[in-house]
């Protein structure tokens, strides 16, 4: 029986009779936030119930959603927790976890790569990307953005895991740069590999390199110049000629007035996007608004 069709039964369940699901989307739980939630549970109890499968032959319930809340309740010393007992199809639990996290709300969102990997795993079940996007109630453009962090190259993934790239968003931007100018991207990756311990590539640096690349392309289309610089981000805008190390913020190219970056990143998080590119966010907001008004969103 599917999750939507299954009846729900509310019950207080002994925490010792609950176990983690077989394939949870969340692979890492931040200890600091877990302690904060445990403190909240000690004061007010568990506000939102867990969702678990019916008990197995051993009398144990596997979690569908709420592993973080369950672990925090154990940490808080709770003996029993409120839970909704629901049935779901094999493999459906992952989808329920993703849909819950797309809603965000009071729960901690999955890390960008965790969300991207989970959405990608679900998307691969469908014959086309359009069909997968429709399954999430979004368009193909959103799906490509949401799964971008699941398609990083092995080299960029290794640099992200080593801490030399500041975020999944910066890694995704680096991959975009490689698509536009492979030579520049390889040069930048080489510099990242040589960075001193503790230094990391910032999102701003990659954004600047992408902006410069876009500017060069536009100039070529309008009036091809005899020569173009194709090196990594430089200090040219400040009058210098030496390239900046990638862990230093390159001067941003002149551009239109931009929205507060924190607001942009927050909107991207709410939309479930791994990348916080303003133009893509605008596309998603327009689609969401049109969908709210009952208008079609399939037109590019």
Is residue 178 domain-resident? Answer: yes
Contacts of 78 (CB under 8 A, 6+ apart): 15, 41, 45, 46
Residues 117 and 101 reside in one and the same domain: no
Residues 52 and 29 reside in one and the same domain: yes
Q: What is the model's pLDDT at position 231?
A: 44
Residues 115 and 101 reside in one and the same domain: no
Bin 41: left if φ > 0, else alpha if -120 < ψ < 50, else beta.
Answer: alpha
Q: Which CA distances in Å does 123 have to 6, 36, 109, 152, 179?
A: 24, 34, 19, 17, 23
- Of 107, 140, 163, which one is at a domain's C-terminal end? 107
Is residue 162 domain-resident? Answer: no
Q: Are 76 and 42 in contact (CB under 8 A)?
A: yes
Residues 117 and 44 reside in one and the same domain: no
Residues 17 and 103 reside in one and the same domain: yes
Is residue 246 domain-resident? Answer: no
Residues 138 and 195 reside in one and the same domain: no
Q: What is the model's pLDDT at position 252?
A: 47
Q: How many domains does the chain have?
A: 3
CA 130, chain centre distance (Å):
20
Residues 233 and 268 reside in one and the same domain: no
- Of 49, 74, 107, which one is at a domain's C-terminal end? 107
Per-residue pLDDT of the chain (300 residues; tens, 9 = 90+): 888 888 989 999 999 999 988 777 788 888 888 888 898 898 889 988 999 999 999 999 999 998 999 999 999 999 999 999 999 988 888 888 888 777 654 456 678 888 899 999 999 999 999 999 888 877 889 899 889 999 999 989 888 888 888 888 888 989 988 888 888 888 888 889 888 888 888 888 888 888 887 766 655 656 555 454 444 444 334 444 444 454 444 444 444 555 676 677 777 767 666 555 677 777 777 777 766 665 544 444
Q: What is the model's pLDDT at position 224?
A: 57
Q: What is the model's pLDDT at position 23?
A: 75
Is residue 144 domain-resident? Answer: yes
Domain, as residue range, for 24: 9-107
Residues 115 and 85 reside in one and the same domain: no
Residues 60 and 26 reside in one and the same domain: yes
Residues 43 and 101 reside in one and the same domain: yes
Model pTM above 0.75: no
**Rounded-to-integer distance, Cα 58 and Cα 17, Å:** 9
- Of 51, 73, 107, which one is at a domain's C-terminal end? 107
Is residue 245 domain-resident? Answer: no
Is residue 253 domain-resident? Answer: no
Residues 264 and 147 reside in one and the same domain: yes
Is residue 251 domain-resident? Answer: no
DSSP class per residue in 117-167: HHHHHHHTTSSSHHHHHHHTTS-HHHHHHHTGGGS--HHHHHHHHTT-BS-
Contacts of 292 (CB under 8 A, 6+ apart): none
Is residue 233 domain-resident? Answer: yes
In this structure, the dihedral spanned by the alpha carbons of residues 246, 250, 253 and 259, taken in order and rounded to 10 degrees, is: 100
CATH number at residue 60: 3.90.1530.10
Q: What is the model's pLDDT at position 131?
A: 92
Residues 224 and 268 reside in one and the same domain: no
């Amino acid at each position: 029986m599917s999750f939507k069709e299954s009846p729900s039964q509310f019950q207080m369940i002994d925490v010792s009779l609950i176990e983690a699901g077989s394939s949870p989307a969340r692979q890492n739980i931040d200890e600091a936030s877990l302690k904060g939630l445990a403190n909240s549970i000690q004061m007010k109890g568990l506000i939102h119930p867990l969702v678990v499968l019916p008990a197995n032959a051993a009398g144990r319930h596997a979690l569908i959603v709420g592993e973080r809340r369950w672990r925090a309740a154990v940490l808080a010393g709770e003996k029993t927790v409120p839970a909704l007992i629901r049935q779901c199809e094999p493999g459906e639990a992952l989808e329920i976890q993703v849909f819950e996290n797309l809603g965000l709300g009071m729960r901690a969102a999955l890390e960008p790569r965790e969300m991207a990997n989970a959405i990608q795993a679900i998307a691969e079940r469908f014959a086309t990307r359009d069909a997968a996007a429709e399954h999430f109630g979004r368009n193909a453009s959103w799906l490509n953005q949401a799964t971008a962090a699941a398609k990083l190259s092995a080299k960029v993934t290794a640099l992200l895991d080593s801490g030399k790239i500041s975020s999944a968003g910066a890694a995704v931007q680096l991959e975009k740069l490689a698509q536009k100018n492979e030579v520049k991207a390889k040069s930048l990756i080489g510099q990242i590999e040589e960075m001193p311990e503790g230094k990391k590539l910032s999102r701003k640096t990659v954004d600047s390199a992408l902006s410069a690349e876009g500017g060069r392309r536009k100039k070529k289309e309008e009036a091809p110049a005899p020569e173009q610089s194709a090196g990594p981000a430089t200090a040219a805008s400040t009058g210098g000629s030496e390239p900046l190390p990638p862990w230093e913020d390159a001067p941003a190219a002149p551009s239109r007035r931009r929205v507060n970056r924190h607001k942009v990143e927050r909107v991207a998080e709410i939309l479930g996007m791994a990348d916080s590119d303003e133009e893509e966010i605008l596309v998603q907001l327009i689609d969401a608004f049109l969908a709210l008004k009952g208008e079609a969103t399939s037109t590019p």
